[in-house]
Structure 1
Amino acid sequence: MNKSSRSITIVIVTAMVVIAGGWPGRGNASELAAAEGKVLDLAAAEVIKKFEGASCEQLKARQEEPPTMARKAAIALLRKHEKARVAFIDRIAAPVLNKMIECGMAP
C-alpha cells in the first residue's frame, strides 16, 4: 500500500468511527457532528486530490483495480448513512465529475 492509499485509508476509517457514533462516552451530539463534518471534509479533500493529481491513464487503470477493503467499508458506510453520503457527494461531485469528463470516463 502506497503512502497516498494509507492516508486515504486512515481518513476513511476515522470517518467511519465518527459517523458510526463516535467514541462512546466522549463529547456531545454537536461536538460529534462537528467532528463528522471535519472528517468528511478531510476524506473529500483526499478523494479530490487523488483525482486532480492523477493522469487520465492512471484513473482508468485504477478503475480496473478491485476495490480495497477500505473502499468497500467506506462505500458500505455511505450507503448506510444518508446524511454522510449526501455531504460527501456534495463536496466531491464537481471536481471528480469534471476530471471524469476530461478523461472521457463519464457516462
Structure 2
Amino acid sequence: MSRDEAQRIHHLPAIRALGDALTDDTEGVSPVSYLDRAMSFPSNMRMGPWAMGVLGWPLTNEHDKIVGYAESTVYNTIRALHDRRDGLHSVADNVRAADERNEDNARRI
C-alpha cells in the first residue's frame, strides 16, 4: 500500500477537523456554541424561595432542583464534547505515530 493510499484511509486532518467541529465557535454552529447559549436559560428560570408563597415553597424548591439538574446536564455535555475532541486529536496522533513506526520497521527489513 502506498503512502497516498494510507493517507486516504487515515485522513488525519479530517479526524482533527471532526473533533474541532464539535467545539470551535468560528462560525457559531458547533454543538458547544448552542449549548453555551442554552447554559444561560436555566439560571433565568430560577424562582425565589417564596415566589409562590408559603404553601408554594415546596413546589418552588423542586422547581429549582430541576433547573439545577438542567444546568449540570448542559455543563457535563459541554465537558464531554471537549473530551471527545481531545480523544479524536489523540486518535490522529496515534495513527501518525503508528505510521511512522511502521515505516521505520519496514526500512529495517
Larger Rg: 2
The normalised TM-score by structure 2 is 0.40
The normalised TM-score by structure 1 is 0.40
